A and B are shown apart, each in its own frame.
Chain A
């Protein structure tokens, strides 16, 4: 078992002082900090192995290609995919979802079809589908949210029908933390022959994901929310579907034979990776996955759940705080809240003056915020390197802020 002190030593950022104070980083749903192992892997790649992949026959190009392919294998194991042919590297979840919206939207979506989403979606799993629905004359439907901010499965049965071509849902709400019962929804998608897509940006960093156990066709995620660098993310896709699917981006590396008039496509997964890829990002992602494996998701879940329960307990002591979202047992390590008479931007600015980083705003979920009757909330989101002292610092600072304004 690795102790929290040892873990913290792996993250150089915690040596940085914010306005002369200790950094209390509670903005992990936006992006996580990077362990030194990941940072070193990236610089080591550029210092000793840098070359373009799948091009040259020279030594560096071959080992860069090998490392890059190995990173795909690592992600395949991480998600329990069959192999690297099912793993496409992208920039992030947004790009993965756009790949699907464009490829499935332009080639398979027909007038009168419907696309089913939830009320919890991040703009990245809403706006691409809105655009495709508008272009193809399809309808967008929503699985509703219950009063206690969970997924209303009964409404899923109404929303998904034989005209449903795509069901695309988040695995965990970035704004509220709600965990979505993907498997139950997936069953309904299967019954009606729809593609089942999961936005795993918030789940992959925090819980074990088994795409075969979840029985989904696609699973999108971002590296930077799980210790890896920004600019690398991925998409799992079922091999038989990817084989038939049209590419999203065209150009170098994704082709097999090109003439002036025509082109054929490369084998999987390269058919979906046009242009020079983010090799150092892929290598960093592989090291991040190793790091998560070393800690273990059991321990990650244990730490995060304890922190979430503790945060709820401490914040509920404050009469001027209102928490949005479900009880801790139904969510990940996200606490979204409002404070009587004080705007989230003021809260976040004042917390920042105490070295505490949180997110204030609509969390890229404007329609959801509107449903909750607000424009914005303050959100504290935790990872396994946070401690109860971080929550205490947050609570103490919130008390000071309330006093300043009353």
Chain B
């Protein structure tokens, strides 16, 4: 069987490209998976057109959750928040391209869940500001 831990996953866990924090982030959210203690905090800055200009994450946890969020943040550059809201489990599975068991799929999806929760909060704030 092919491994869940192909080189790209291990590399991005050991040396993530998008780890860090952003000041004045437009989108910011922090959540954890209480079952395994994995934690992810995301920061996103938007450009003038409302597209994602820069994204970072901070967190601790397993290689699957941490590499997955790192690859996700790479993939969403230039997208609008609405486009990110349209991403689903299939997108993550395709992006990782590894055989995930149902339990480990939850690890892989944590980053997307945190990011989408952050976007919802951002949208609510915007709506409140407009009205």
A residues with CB within 8 A of B: 19-20, 342-346, 349-350, 353, 361-362, 375-376, 404-405
| CB pair A19 B37 closer than 8 Å | no
Contacts A353-B3, A353-B4 hold; do A376 and B36 have CB atoms under 8 A apart? yes
| B residues 1-58 in Cβ contact with A at 8 Å | 1, 3-5, 10, 13-14, 35-38
* B123 CB within 8 Å of chain A: no
| CB pair A404 B62 closer than 8 Å | no
| CB pair A345 B104 closer than 8 Å | yes
| CB pair A375 B1 closer than 8 Å | no
Shortest Cβ gap from A371 to chain B (Å): 14
Contacts of A349 in B (CB 8 A): 4-5, 64, 101, 104
Q: Which residue of B lies closest to A342 (CB)?
A: B63
Q: Which residue of B lies closest to A350 (CB)?
A: B5
Contacts of B5 in A (CB 8 A): 346, 349-350, 404
- Report how many residues on chain B are interfacial, defined by Cβ distance under 8 Å: 18
Q: How far is the CA of A308 from the CA of B73 in the complex (A)?
A: 44
Contacts of B63 in A (CB 8 A): 342-343, 346, 405
Complex A-B, nearest 7 residue pairs according to Cβ-Cβ distance, in ascending order: A375-B37, A343-B62, A345-B62, A346-B63, A19-B1, A346-B62, A349-B4
Contacts of A361 in B (CB 8 A): 35-36
Contacts of A353 in B (CB 8 A): 1, 3-4
Q: How far is the CA of A375 from the CA of B35 in the complex (A)?
A: 9
Contacts A361-B36, A376-B37, A404-B10 hold; do A345 and B3 have CB atoms under 8 A apart? no
Shortest Cβ gap from B101 to chain A (Å): 8
15 A-B pairs within 8 Å (CB atoms) are namely: A342-B63, A343-B63, A344-B36, A345-B62, A346-B5, A350-B3, A350-B4, A361-B35, A362-B35, A376-B36, A404-B5, A404-B10, A405-B10, A405-B13, A405-B14
Which residue from A342, A345, A405 sits with its C-beta under 8 Å from B36?
A: A345
Which residue from A19, A343, A350, A405 sits with its C-beta under 8 Å from B61?
A: A343
Q: How far is the CA of A344 from the CA of B63 in the complex (A)?
A: 10
Shortest Cβ gap from A77 to chain B (Å): 40
* B119 CB within 8 Å of chain A: no
Interface string of B66-89 (1 = CB under 8 A from A): 000000000000000000000000
Q: How far is the CA of A343 from the CA of B61 in the complex (A)?
A: 6
Q: How far is the CA of A375 from the CA of B65 in the complex (A)?
A: 15
Contacts of A20 in B (CB 8 A): 1
Q: How far is the CA of A349 from the CA of B14 in the complex (A)?
A: 17
Q: How far is the CA of A40 from the CA of B36 in the complex (A)?
A: 38
* B107 CB within 8 Å of chain A: yes
Q: How far is the CA of A353 from the CA of B104 in the complex (A)?
A: 13
Contacts of B62 in A (CB 8 A): 343-346
Shortest Cβ gap from B16 to chain A (Å): 13
Shortest Cβ gap from B70 to chain A (Å): 15
| CB pair A346 B64 closer than 8 Å | yes
Q: Which residue of B lies closest to A366 (CB)?
A: B34
Interface string of B94-109 (1 = CB under 8 A from A): 0000000100100100
| CB pair A345 B1 closer than 8 Å | no
Shortest Cβ gap from A80 to chain B (Å): 39
